[in-house]
Each structure stands twice: as structure tokens, then as C-alpha cells.
């Protein structure tokens, strides 16, 4: 069946740059976020490649140790605060979530737009810091170094502080939207699992981010006014900063991964054409993760001088964090079992997620084991662990989600062949880059150094080649996705024959999302009961 | 499919009815207040830790705060919470003039609070009872008394900013009320500001004993 682009839709209903910069439409705000966040991803990626370039040899290639400290700090700060934390909620959450629950918009559209402007302000502070001395504290801003470093600490702290507000506003908006704006008939247990994930994420955003805000504010006062509360010479305590920081930043890792897990639930169900297995388990495990995530921050501080008793308790509690994630993995696998799986590009991203995130999660448990972490802390093993969860998990999910909803967002299809080549490149490149880092870590290669012992040269070189493959892969994705916006084949309302509500509107959707008030007729995963209309290919039976 | 419903001017297009809109605003406000509690939570944590490490110093230092000024401010804020609540009630009953009086009263009391705070602060600044490296007062026994004043200025300072914010918003409500923007059917902004104002009051009710009444 040939599809056409509808005449009027949210992209052309108003034109001119003002109609974008003043828009209150959640779909357009999602796209504004997409532009900024993906640009940040590009910037962070450039720093990543510079780091890997330098590490081709233990000797100086591009930069000395000071420059190197700046490169990994900027890489981390940009990737964490400007890219991964806002990414899925602000782009896809904004675009898709209201459509999924049958709402016309989020509860507070003006606040939504404000959150984008606040993000842009934070972005500007970060760029300003970049050009006025850079930053060399690492993304963790540990005291006492961060109160002494001569780099642009204040601007970068301001950036993170401001970005926190953007995150809080998004979270607040989404909680209210999900509570109050669901279509008639859509009960909590008929919400798509992506919505549950966004909801759990929003709770963490709202509960944890204010603590980061006050922590960064205290650090700024420490530097500017010299209040001395993190300075042992004045009766203060630098470890207190670490407690405050990780009280936010461990929950924040779930801000990063939970929405990704939500996307994976959608992808696995859609491309297995099967009712999702253990719906309630997946939904509640999101809340479980949100809750347990608040109890384990001390596992980042096993060797920072917290009491032994605290370390043992935190280690024990850390093991519990693995359970909800494990529940999800098992349910996804059970969903695929006996499903009729089609391996379209989004599903390939989802499968990559399953493999890579599992490795990342298991090594997290390894690190949570107190006696092991004493040796592995601050080595490449940790670096590899968190890249397996953040890139292997979240980034796979983002790109899976972007490919899945691209035809909904722009109404057009990307080139499937190129897309499959890209996903394979990323998967292979990723493993080349990071798997050897586990091995280097166990052999004692410490993180955050510009140089290394000659014995690591081979593995570092191997790792850098992987990074290059990934870099080319992402470039390829950028090219064919942008091409698809203008020249892609019209996709039709429901190219994947999925059952969630966003596929019942035209692609691209109309400005007001739906004609009148949509009413729920079937659950999000009723593949055993309903055959979706508008199918591109004939619907495969299970 | 859509029913024909009344569409009052204050109803935004993405809500189905006024009720849904008001309920959304309320939930949003409660969540916002929660983030405020967590923001202050970090500072309360800070206070608890350093006080437990330096109990004697905190005790000695607190004697230099003026209990009478603190107590007066407590009463002032509690009364302002009452006038704020009465402002909401008056608008529910449609008494616009009365609402304006109560809002003006609330702003006035908030200003009284800030003036008293100003006298307290300037006295301490004068004596050098200041945070961190600015501290130069002599006469408080115990190590690092500047930490007490760091906590004092940070927590009452952040609270003071919230009072100033409140003054701004309530003044804006006063103007809107004068222009007739609110009615017994629509007074959500007044109600939401009321919630905020009660929280500001509540935080002070914790701060007062923690700083002025250390036993
Ligand atoms: C199965 C769940 C997980 C467990 C048990 C776990 C455990 C740990 C532990 C114990 C550490 C500290 C290692 C050290 O510094 O010595 C760590 C570090 C880290 N983890 Fe995880 N983790 C889990 C999942 C995640 C996820 C989902 C993410 C992000 C998406 C993440 C991101 C990080 C980051 C960024 C660090 C390093 C922070 C730094 O020092 O710069 N982790 N993890
Ligand atoms: Cu952690």
C-alpha cells in the first residue's frame, strides 16, 4: 500500500522560526530538544575521540596531562548533564508520551517550553566554561580539588545547576500529565510500559535533583565565599560532598537507564508481535528501581573513608538493585519466546541493548561486592562497566527509539539497509572499544590518566580502533536519518503495526494530536486480540 | 464525539474541563513543594551533621542570636499564613475587596519579617559573626564557630529568598485581583500561592527552634 503525507500536520501548521521558538506544542518542543541534545552528543563524542586518539600511545600525541584532564572532564560532563540525562525523557518522552496516553499536550505546556530555554541557558554556561579555562575536575567535581582547581569550575557548576531545573520541570510536568491527562478508559494498567518508565524516571528527577542543586550551590559558595564546609582545615569534611553528590548521582543513573528500559519494552513487544510477558512485573520493577536506587549511593565511596559498617550495608543493598533489572530482562526474553519476531532496525537496537546492558548490569554487581571493588575502584573496569550500561544500555535504547518513532515524528521512513549496517557497526565497534577495558581494569590500569605502562599499548590501541568504528557508525546514522526527513518514503500512520495509541494518529500527527477526544478501545499489547489496521505488510499471525 | 461544554476563558485548550485543569495545577504545586523540601533537606542534613560533631560549639554560638527577634518573626509569619488563607476564603465567597485587603496584609507582614531579618543580619555582619573565612568575632568557645554561622546564614538566607519570592508573587496576585481576573469559579493561582506560602512559613517554624532555641 502506498502512503501519502497528510496535508496539514504539526510541522507545517505554522511556519517561521518564531513559530518554533514560541511553540507550546509538546511535539515541537521534543524536536527543539532533539536538536540541542543531539548536538551535545556530537560535542561529547568529539571529546571521546580525542581521548581515544591520545591513548593510542603512552607518549604525548595531541595533548599533555593537563589538557587530557580537561578532555575527559568535558566529555563526562557533556555526556552526562547535557546529553544522557535529558535525552530520552525530553526528546521522546515529550513527543510520544502525550500521544501514548491520548492527551492533547502535557499538563503545563508553558513550563515545558521554559524547561527547554533553561536547558539552553545551561548549555551556554557549559560552552562559556569551555572557552574560559575549561574544566579538569572530572564530572564528579570532588572536593577538595574542585575548590582549588584554577579552571572554570563556577561556570560549569552553574551549568549543571541550571540544567537540574530543566530536568525537574520536565519531571514535574510528566508526573502531572500521566496522573491527570490520560484518555477516558486508560487505567494505570493499560498504560504502555514506556509511560510507566517515564513516570518512574520523573519521580527520581523530582526527588533527587534538588539535592544536587543544593550540593552544587554549596560547592560554589565554598569556592566564592570560602564557607569552608568541605574544607578539613576549617572543620569541614570533603567526604560530605561525596555523600551529597552520590545521593543524587546514583539515582541519576536510573534517570538515565529507566526511560531506555521503557523503550525496550515497546520495541520487544511490537517486533515480537506478542503480548508483553509480565506487564505488571515490568511496570512495578520500574518503581522498584526508582526506590532502591536511593539506598545504595555509598557503593561509590567504598575507599573514600566511610565507616566499615556503612560500606558493608551499602554493598549488601547494592545487590538488591540488580533484582528489578533482572526481572525486566527475563520478562523481555519471555516475551520474545514463541513470538513472531521481525528483525527490523529498532529490534536490532533492542537486541543489542539486551546483550550489552546485561553485561553492564552483571559487572555492576561485581563492583558492588565490597571486597572486589576495593581493588577495581578507579580502574578501567569501572569505566567499562558504566559504558556498558550507559552506552550499551541507554544509547542503544535512544537509537532504537529514534528509529522506531522516526516515521511517526517526520512521517517518513529511513533507509533500512543503511540502518542495519549502522547498528551492526555500533554493536561491533562498541564491544571492541570497551570489552578490553574490563581486562585492562583487572590488570590494574587506572582511569583518568593520559599515559600508561607499555604492557597496555596493544589493548588501548584496539580500544581506540573500536571508537573510530563507532564514530563512523554514528555519522552514518546522522546522514540517513536527516536525509529521511526530507526525502524518505511516506511511512503511513502505523508502519510497525503496533497497538499503542500514538500509532492511531496520522504520521506526522496533526497539531492537536487527535480528532476530538480519543477513547481507549484495546490494551497496548493486545496482539492476541486485535489485528492493527493500516499495516504496511500483511500482518503475520503468531 | 466531543460533547458541547461551556468553555470559560481561563480553560486552556488541552484540558477537557475546569476541574481537570484545577486538579492538575494542584498536583503540580504539591510536587513543586516536594522539591522545595528536598532542597532545604540538603541544608538540614548539613546542619544535623555539623551539630552532632560540634554540640558544644553550636550551643555556645546560638546564645548570640536574638530570641525575641526570632520569636516575633515566627508570630509574624504565622499570622501572614492566616491572612493568606483568609484571602483564599474571601475569593471563594466572591468578596474581591476583602481578598485584596488580606493579600495586602500578607505582603505587609512578609515585609515586616524581612525588615526584622535585616536588623538581625546587619548586627551579625557588624560583629563579624559570619560564615567561613569572613568570621572575625571572638568570644564563642569551641572549635570553628564559623560553621554555626554558615548554617545560619545559608538556611535563613535561602528561606529569606523564598519570602522575597512570595512577596513578588502575592503582589502580582493583588494586581490581578484588582483587575478582576479571579472569581469564585477560578482562583487557582491564589490557592497555589497559598500552599507555597504555608510551606515557607512551615520551614521557618523548623528553623526557629533549630537555631534560636538550642537547649
Ligand atoms: C545492576 C545495576 C548496577 C549496579 C549494581 C551498579 C554498581 C556500580 C558500582 C558498585 C559502581 C562503583 C564502582 C567504583 O567506582 O568502584 C558503579 C559505578 C558507576 N555506574 Fe553502575 N551499577 C549499576 C547500573 C548502572 C547503570 C544503569 C548506570 C547508568 C546508566 C550506571 C552508571 C555508573 C557510573 C556512571 C559509574 C561510575 C561513576 C564514576 O565514578 O564516575 N550503573 N556502578
Ligand atoms: Cu551507583
Q: What is the DSSP string of A245-288?
A: HHHHHHHHHHHHHHHHHHHHHHHHHHHHTSPPTTHHHHHHHHHH
pLDDT score recorded for residue A1 = 61
Q: Classify residue B139 as left (phi > 0), alpha (psi -120 to 50) or beta.
A: left
Q: What is the pLDDT of residue A529?
A: 81
CA A202 to chain B, closest CA, distance in angstroms equals 11
Q: Do A240 and B46 touch (CB under 8 A)?
A: yes
Q: Which of A458, A314, A444, A327 is nearest to A376 (CA)?
A: A444
Nearest neighbour of A229 by CB, restricted to B16, B38, B147:
B147
What is the spatial distance between Cα A9 and Cα A373, in angstroms, rounded to a whole number? 54
pLDDT of residue B21: 93
- Tell me if A105 and B39 make a contact (CB, 8 A cut-off): no
ipTM for the predicted complex: 0.92
* Ligand 1 pocket residues where CB is under 6 Å: A 140, 253, 256-257, 299-300, 318, 321-322, 325, 361, 364-365, 367-368, 373, 376-377, 382, 385-386, 389-390, 393-394
Nearest CA owner, ligand 1 atom 42:
A386
Hey, what's the cell of A481? Answer: 536519518
**Average pLDDT of span A218-233:** 91
Residue B2 to residue A209, Cβ atoms within 8 A? no
pLDDT in tens, A351-371: 999 999 999 999 999 999 999
> What are the pLDDT digits (tens) for B25-79?
999 999 999 999 999 999 999 999 999 999 999 999 999 999 999 999 999 999 9
| Mean pLDDT on A91-99 | 98
pTM recorded for the entire structure: 0.94
* Residue A189 burial by Cβ neighbours in a 10 Å radius (0-12, 13-18, 19+): exposed
Q: Which residues in chain B touch residue A23, judged by CB atoms under 8 angstroms apart?
A: none
Interface contact flag, A244 B143, Cβ < 8 Å: no
Which SS3 state, helix, strand or coil, does residue A516 take? coil
At residue A521, the pLDDT reads 80
Q: Which atom of ligand 1 is nearest to the CA of A318?
A: 5
Q: Are A276 and A412 in contact (CB under 8 A)?
A: no
Region at A492 (left for phi over 0; alpha for psi -120 to 50; beta for the rest): left
Residue A306 preceded by cis peptide, ω within 30 = no
Measured from the Cβ of residue A340, the count of other Cβ atoms closer than 10 Å reads: 14
Is pLDDT at A537 greater than 90 in this prediction? Answer: no
Question: What's the gap in Å between the CA of A177 and the closest CA on chain B?
Answer: 8
Distance A366 CA to ligand 1 centre (A): 10
| Interface contact A225-B36, CB threshold 8 A | no
Q: Which of A176, A234, A237 is closest, CB to CB, to B24?
A: A176
User: Could you read off the pLDDT of A247-287 as tens digits, one per residue?
Assistant: 999 999 999 999 999 999 999 999 999 999 999 999 999 99
pLDDT at res. B141: 84
Query: Residue A538: pLDDT above 80?
Result: no
* pLDDT at position A540: 38
| Cα B58 to Cα B47: distance, rounded to the nearest angstrom | 10
- Please state which of the ranges A39-43, A261-265, A272-276, A461-465 shows the lowest mean pLDDT: A272-276
Q: Is A179 part of the contact surface with chain B (CB cutoff 8 Å)?
A: yes
* Cα distances (angstroms) measured from residue A173 to each of A403, B28, B86: 25, 7, 29
Give yes or no for a contact between A190 and A520, defined as CB atoms under 8 angstroms apart.
Answer: yes
Rounded to the nearest angstrom, the distance between the alpha carbon of A466 and the centre of ligand 1 is 22
Residue A3: predicted pLDDT: 87
Tens-digit pLDDT profile for residues B79-137: 999 999 999 999 999 999 999 999 999 999 999 999 999 999 999 999 999 998 889 99
Q: How distant is the Cα of B42 from the closest Cα of chain A, in angstroms?
A: 6
d(CA A239, CA A230): 8
Give the model's confidence band at B182: pLDDT under 50 very low, under 70 low, under 90 confident, else very high: very high
- Whether the CB-CB separation of A519 and A185 falls below 8 Å is answered with yes
Asked if A486 and A475 touch (Cβ cutoff 8 Å), the reply is no
Which of A171, A216, A116 minimizes the C-alpha distance to B34? A171
Residue A457 CA to ligand 2 center (angstroms) comes to 30
Average pLDDT over residues A454-479: 97
What digits encode the pLDDT tens for the residues A379-409? 999 999 999 999 999 999 999 999 999 999 9
Q: What is the A423 CA–ligand 1 centroid distance (Å)? A: 25
* Phi and psi at residue A397, to the nearest 5°: -65, -40
SS3 content of chain B, % helix, strand, coil (to 5): 75, 0, 25
Mutation target for A interface from B15, B61, B150: give the one with most A CBs within 10 A.
B150
Q: With residue B44 as reference, give the H or E element that holds it.
A: helix B18-53
A541 pLDDT exceeds 70? no
Give the distance (Å) from ligand 2 centre to CA of residue A86. Answer: 19
Task: Report the pLDDT value the prediction gives residue B6, as an integer from 0 to 100.
Answer: 56
The CA–CA distances, whole Å, from A141 to A128, A245, B50, B152 equal 18, 9, 22, 25
pLDDT value of residue B36: 97
Indicate which of A24, A99, A103, A107 best probes the interface with B, i.e. most B CBs within 10 Å of its own CB. A107
Amino acid at each position: 500500500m502506498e502512503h501519502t503525507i497528510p496535508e496539514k500536520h504539526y510541522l507545517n501548521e505554522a511556519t517561521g522560526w518564531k513559530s518554533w521558538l514560541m511553540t507550546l506544542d509538546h511535539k515541537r518542543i521534543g524536536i527543539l530538544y532533539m536538536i540541542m541534545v543531539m548536538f551535545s552528543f556530537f560535542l561529547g563524542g568529539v571529546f571521546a575521540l580525542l581521548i581515544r586518539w591520545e591513548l593510542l600511545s603512552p607518549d604525548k600525541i595531541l595533548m599533555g596531562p593537563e589538557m587530557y584532564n580537561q578532555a575527559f572532564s568535558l566529555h563526562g560532563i557533556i555526556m552526562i548533564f547535557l546529553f544522557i540525562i535529558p535525552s530520552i525523557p525530553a526528546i521522546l518522552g515529550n513527543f510520544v508520551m502525550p500521544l501514548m496516553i491520548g492527551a492533547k499536550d502535557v499538563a503545563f505546556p508553558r513550563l515545558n517550553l521554559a524547561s527547554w530555554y533553561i536547558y539552553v541557558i545551561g548549555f551556554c554556561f557549559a560552552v562559556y566554561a569551555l572557552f574560559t579555562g575549561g574544566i579538569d575536575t572530572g564530572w564528579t567535581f570532588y572536593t577538595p580539588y574542585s575548590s582549588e582547581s584554577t579552571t572554570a569550575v563556577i561556570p560549569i557548576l552553574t551549568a549543571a545547576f541550571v540544567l537540574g531545573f530543566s530536568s525537574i520541570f520536565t519531571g514535574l510536568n510528566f508526573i502531572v500529565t500521566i496522573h491527570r491527562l490520560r484518555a477516558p478508559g486508560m487505567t494505570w494498567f493499560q498504560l504502555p510500559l514506556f509511560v510507566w518508565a517515564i513516570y518512574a524516571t520523573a519521580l527520581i528527577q523530582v526527588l533527587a535533583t534538588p539535592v544536587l542543586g543544593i550540593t552544587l550551590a554549596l560547592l560554589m559558595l565554598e569556592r566564592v565565599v570560602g564557607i569552608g564546609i568541605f574544607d578539613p582545615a576549617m572543620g569541614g569534611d570533603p567526604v560530605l560532598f561525596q555523600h551529597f553528590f552520590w545521593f543524587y548521582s546514583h539515582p541519576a543513573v536510573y534517570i538515565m537507564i529507566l526511560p531506555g528500559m521503557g523503550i525496550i519494552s515497546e520495541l520487544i513487544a511490537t517486533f515480537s508481535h506478542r503480548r508483553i510477558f509480565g506487564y505488571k512485573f515490568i511496570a512495578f520493577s520500574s518503581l522498584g528501581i526508582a526506590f532502591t536506587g536511593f539506598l545504595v549511593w555509598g557503593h561509590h565511596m567504598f575507599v573514600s573513608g566511610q565507616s566499615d559498617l556503612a560500606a558493608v550495608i551499602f554493598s549488601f543493598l547494592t545487590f538488591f538493585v540488580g533484582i528489578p533489572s533482572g526481572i525486566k530482562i527475563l520478562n523481555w526474553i519471555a516475551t520474545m519466546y514463541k513470538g513472531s519476531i521481525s528483525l527490523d532496525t529498532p529490534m536490532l537496537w533492542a537486541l543489542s541493548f539486551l546483550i550489552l546492558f546485561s553485561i553492564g548490569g552483571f559487572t555492576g554487581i561485581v563492583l558492588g561486592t565490597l571486597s572486589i571493588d576495593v581493588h577495581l575502584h578507579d580502574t578501567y573496569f569501572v569505566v567499562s562497566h558504566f559504558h556498558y550500561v550507559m552506552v550499551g544500555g541507554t544509547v542503544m535504547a535512544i537509537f532504537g527509539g529514534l528509529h522506531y518513532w522516526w516515521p511517526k515524528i517526520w512521517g517518513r521512513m529511513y533507509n533500512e539497509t543503511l540502518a542495519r549496517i549502522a547498528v551492526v557497526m555500533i554493536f561491533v565497534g562498541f564491544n571492541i572499544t570497551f570489552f578490553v577495558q574490563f581486562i585492562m581494569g583487572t590488570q590494574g590500569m587506572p582511569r583518568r590518566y593520559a599515559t600508561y605502562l607499555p604492557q597496555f599499548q596493544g589493548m588501548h590501541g584496539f580500544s581506540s580502533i573500536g571508537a573510530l568504528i563507532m564514530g563512523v557508525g554514528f555519522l552514518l546514522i546522522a546522514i540517513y536519518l536527516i536525509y529521511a526527513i526530507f526525502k524518505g518514503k511516506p511511512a503511513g500512520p502505523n508502519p510497525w503495526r503496533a497497538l499503542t495509541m500514538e500509532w492511531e494518529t496520522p504520521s506526522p500527527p496533526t497539531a492537536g494530536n487527535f480528532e476530538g477526544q480519543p477513547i481507549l478501545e484495546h490494551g497496548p499489547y493486545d496482539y492476541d486480540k486485535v489485528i492493527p489496521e493500516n499495516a504496511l505488510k500483511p500482518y503475520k499471525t503468531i | 464525539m466531543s460533547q458541547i461544554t461551556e468553555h470559560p476563558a481561563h480553560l486552556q485548550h488541552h484540558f477537557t474541563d475546569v476541574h481537570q485543569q484545577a486538579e492538575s495545577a494542584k498536583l503540580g504545586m504539591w510536587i513543586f513543594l516536594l522539591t522545595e523540601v528536598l532542597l532545604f533537606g540538603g541544608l538540614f542534613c548539613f546542619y544535623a551533621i555539623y551539630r552532632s560533631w560540634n554540640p558544644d560549639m553550636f550551643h555556645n554560638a546560638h546564645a548570640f542570636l536574638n530570641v525575641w527577634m526570632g520569636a516575633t518573626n515566627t508570630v509574624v509569619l504565622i499570622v501572614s499564613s492566616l491572612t493568606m488563607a483568609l484571602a483564599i476564603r474571601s475569593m471563594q465567597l466572591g468578596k474581591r475587596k476583602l481578598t485584596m485587603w488580606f493579600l495586602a496584609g500578607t505582603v505587609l507582614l512578609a515585609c515586616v519579617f524581612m525588615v526584622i531579618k535585616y536588623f538581625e543580619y546587619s548586627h551579625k555582619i557588624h560583629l563579624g559573626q559570619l560564615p567561613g573565612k569572613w568570621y572575625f568575632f571572638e568570644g564563642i568557645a569551641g572549635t570553628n564557630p564559623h560553621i554555626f554561622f554558615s548554617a545560619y546564614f545559608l538556611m535563613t538566607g535561602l528561606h529569606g529568598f523564598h519570602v522575597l519570592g512570595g512577596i513578588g508573587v502575592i503582589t502580582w496576585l493583588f494586581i490581578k485581583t484588582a483587575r478582576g481576573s479571579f472569581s469564585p469559579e477560578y482562583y487557582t493561582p491564589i490557592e497555589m500561592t497559598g500552599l507555597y506560602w504555608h510551606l515557607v512559613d512551615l520551614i521557618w517554624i523548623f528553623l526557629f527552634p533549630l537555631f534560636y532555641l538550642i537547649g
